A and B are shown apart, each in its own frame.
Chain A
Amino acid sequence: MDFARGESDEIIAETIGRFAADELRPRLREFEAARTVGESVRERFAALGFEALDIAEEAGGAGLGLLARVRTNRLLAEADAGAALALDRFAPAIYVIEAFGGVEPLKSLGMNLGQSDLRFALVMDPGAGDTAGARVAGHVAWIPAARADVLVGLGPQGAWVLKDGFAFEPVRGAALHAAGASAVRFDGTPILAWHDPMRAARALARIRIYYASLIWGVLSDAAGFSRSYALDRVAFGKPIAHHQALAFLIVDMYVAVARLGLLIEDAAMAIDAGEGRAVGAAAAAFVDAIEASRFVGPNGVQILGGHGFMRDFPVEKAMRDCRALGLLAGGCDSAREDAGAGLAATISERIAA
């Protein structure tokens, strides 16, 4: 049993942390207004070599696994979750292709991830996999992306991949603006399609952990920022953090973030190790991320009082971003249902196992 992080983890954390602090954090409102992080930031991030961190090496990725992605996402999202999404051209859509077909389909799409400029997007399509080979059509009201070259659809039964036959329409979007905001209309014949509920569940597990790790980062920053503010802000003769009502609230927010981080890393490790509990653990971690966001997000604003409501501070953005992230990947209720259904098999399971 070991909670230690390896040397490569530390190097990644330091590099990503510095990039997030220097390149993303100071410009988060600028990105939000522009609805993009811009090409220069994208190029500098790509130059760091962390773009396809968790994609298989044979497909041009670094093959470091989901745990590395989770930790990277957390650091990027602490600065700006929308920017984190904008900087990732592949995930989480590419998880679907990997889960169903391994690296061969990626090659057949004509891409070497390290070199091509393809951009992927993911939509949840309840009908995916029902009729392999047939046309797929539908409309999704919002995804946090401005454009894509490849559209991937995922449902409980299977998945499909479209290279044509879809269109992005800009929408205002509630949050995550740096990534863009679009409605997606698709009506086309997939170049790839699969029917395999087991693989669909495994792909969804990775996707849920991907988004949960972004929520983790947002909440980590919201808790940390509001804590710092509470130490600076004085009321009734002392920092507001030293009034016990707020001190306890700050503690409980810290606990919620710590709890979430443990569940996410635990699930990511289970996925990387191919454990049978991985699908349920990922669903549970995603539910926990949403529940934590409902607690930490609004209370981050609450601690700042009226200032928290103003766009001068990042806590209002954190509250919106984490709420929106929790609506992706099918949302909370379907994740809760998946996590609950898995319990039937875990009766008298040793929790440590």
Chain B
Amino acid sequence: MNKFSAALNVHIEQIREWGQREVRPAGLEADRNGAPLPPDHPYFAGYVDFRRRHPGPVDDGAVPEGPAVRMAANNEENAYWDRGMGVAAPGPGLPAPIVTAAGTPEQREHFLGPFRGSEIPRWGSFALTEPSGGSDTAAFRTRATRTDRGFLLNGAKCFIGNAARADWVLVQANLDPDKGRSGQRSFFVERGNRGMTGIKVENKMGLRAYESVSFILEDCEVPRDNILGGERPEQTSRSSAYGATMGTLNTTRVGVAASAVGLARSAYDEALNFAKQSGAFRSIRVRDRLEAMHRQLRAAWLMTLRAAWKADSRIPNIVDASMAKVFAAETAQDLASAGMEIVGLEAAAGHHLVEKLFRDAKALNIVEGTGQIQRIIMARHLVGLPR
């Protein structure tokens, strides 16, 4: 139940080779600098070239695994080498499935087209979270109002990945507050829009390799064509931009879970290597700790794979996805913390990879639905917890 096909293993091996040679050093460089690598850093051009040469399995039937399992395998291996560099990778990123699902044909071509076969690094970005709250999407305050030429956006967004370097940011705003969540729509704000101000790249505890950006939308004017799905979304494949967004987040939870497993595996390997080299492995207490880490890691990976497999098999997986997300994220945190314990003062000195992993891991239990939100989602399904 947990074996990949030979074709997918070939792809994973390619990521592994690239990750060891390029991704980990780049991630460590960004971490030491305390800032993401600049967009013109040679790493990103190299990444685009690597992806052009090794695009990975596609839905042509040559690989038996479905897209969710492939994504999980890809994310796990990438995050093993550096989770932050994975988020910083050039490409349309999180908005791609949203635009594909809910965008008009013209929007798909205009906003996603430039990424196809591009030889230069370019980024897309998705702006959901606001300073007033991250989990309660119904309480978001960013508003969109209609004008003769399109829309005016007003509000603020925070912790938005890659927003300062993106060609465009897909911004979630409420066009009809009386309708609550269903009044929310998404708008493409293109680079250079003067209404997008106060752009600040945050200074983070970990995952320093990618930009987390805060910005203000101040009478930010966007053309009529830039509302996702057009003015009448019923003409698109999804009736609600909010629904498309939330549907995407359900899918990406499994991706985050896989990334958490990759990070956790890295922490485990670091701890085990250290324990063996230092002789600590001879201690039964250290072996017990490593055994618990290994077991937790294995369970997290199996949970993630099952949630992905259900998605590919079109079996409802909301509970599985939330379970995988919360368990894998907590596993990453637990294993990185236990890794610090095993490596000891070498970790406290700040030079050891496990110390970086410890700082990186915490975010995974916060992004794309905190551990508490995942438990609420599960409780709604398991015991009908009221909203």
Contacts and interface: CB of A to CB of B under 8 A. Distances in A.
Given A1-B5, A284-B291, A340-B288, 6 more contacts: A3-B310, A247-B376, A252-B375, A284-B294, A337-B287, A352-B73
Contacts of A287: 291-292, 295
Contacts of B64: 1
Interface stretch (B32-40, B103-111, B149-157, B265-273): B265-273
Given A340-B291, A347-B273, A244 B385 contact: yes
A343 B301 contact: no
Given A242-B384, A248-B375, A341 B287 contact: yes
Contacts of B326: 255
Interface string B293-329: 0110111011101100110010000000001001100
A259 B299 contact: yes
Interface in A223-245: 227, 230-231, 238-239, 241-242, 244
Contacts of A41: none
Contacts of A247: 375-376, 379, 383, 385
Contacts of B281: 344
Contacts of A231: 383-384
Nearest to B301: A351
B6 interface: no
Interface in A294-350: 336-337, 339-341, 343-344, 346-348, 350
A352 B295 contact: no
A2 B5 CA distance: 11
B299 to A, nearest CB: 4
14 contacts: A3-B309, A3-B310, A241-B385, A244-B385, A247-B376, A255-B378, A259-B327, A337-B288, A343-B272, A347-B269, A347-B276, A348-B273, A351-B301, A353-B3
Nearest to B3: A1
Contact of A258 (B5, B76, B303): B303
Interface string A205-232: 0000000000000000000000100110
Interface stretch (A79-87, A148-156, A262-270): A262-270
A61 to B, nearest CB: 24
Most chain B CB within 10 A, of A238, A247, A288, is at: A247
Given A3-B309, A254-B378, A263 B1 contact: no
A47 interface: no
Interface residues of B, number: 50
A184 B266 CA distance: 48
Contact of B301 (A227, A250, A265, A352): A352
B115 interface: no
Most chain B CB within 10 A, of A247, A251, A353, is at: A251
Contact of B299 (A230, A288, A341, A346): A288
A4 interface: yes
Contacts of B61: none
B261 A251 contact: no
Given A255-B323, A352-B76, A242 B291 contact: no
B288 A336 contact: yes
Contacts of A230: 383
Interface string B54-96: 0000000000110001000100100000000000000000000
B294 A346 contact: yes
Contacts of A351: 261, 265, 297-298, 301
Chain A's interface size range is 35 or more
B3 A343 contact: no
B379 A250 contact: yes
Contact of B272 (A254, A281, A347): A347
Contacts of B383: 227, 230-231, 239, 241-242, 247, 250
Contact of A352 (B2, B287, B309, B384): B2
B4 interface: yes
A353 B272 CA distance: 18
B47 to A, nearest CB: 23
Given A247-B379, A262-B306, A255 B291 contact: no
Interface in A269-301: 269, 281, 284, 287-288
Contacts of B276: 344, 347
Contact of B303 (A227, A239, A259): A259
B69 A339 contact: no
Given A255-B327, A259-B327, A351-B298, A266 B1 contact: yes
Contacts of B3: 1, 352-353
B345 interface: no
B192 interface: no
A262 B290 CA distance: 20
Interface string A41-82: 000000000000000000000000000000000000000000
A181 B326 CA distance: 41
Contacts of A255: 323, 326-327, 378
A189 to B, nearest CB: 37
B382 A242 contact: no
Contacts of B349: none
Contacts of B65: 1
A254 B309 CA distance: 20
Contacts of B305: 1, 3, 352
A255 B371 CA distance: 13
Contacts of B73: 352
Given A263-B299, A337-B284, A347-B272, A2 B384 contact: no
Contacts of A339: 291, 294-295
Contacts of A252: 375
Nearest to B269: A348
Contacts of B310: 3
A349 to B, nearest CB: 9
Interface string A86-111: 00000000000000000000000000
A287 B290 CA distance: 13
A269 B379 CA distance: 31
B299 A251 contact: no
A170 to B, nearest CB: 37
A241 B376 CA distance: 12
Contacts of A346: 294
Sorted nearest first, the 3 A-B pairs with minimum C-beta distance are A340-B287, A241-B383, A340-B291
Contacts of B291: 284, 287, 336, 339-340, 343
Contacts of B4: 1, 352
Contacts of A347: 269, 272-273, 276
B295 A288 contact: yes
Contacts of B272: 343, 347
Most chain A CB within 10 A, of B73, B294, B313, is at: B294
Most chain B CB within 10 A, of A3, A258, A288, is at: A3
Interface in B323-347: 323, 326-327
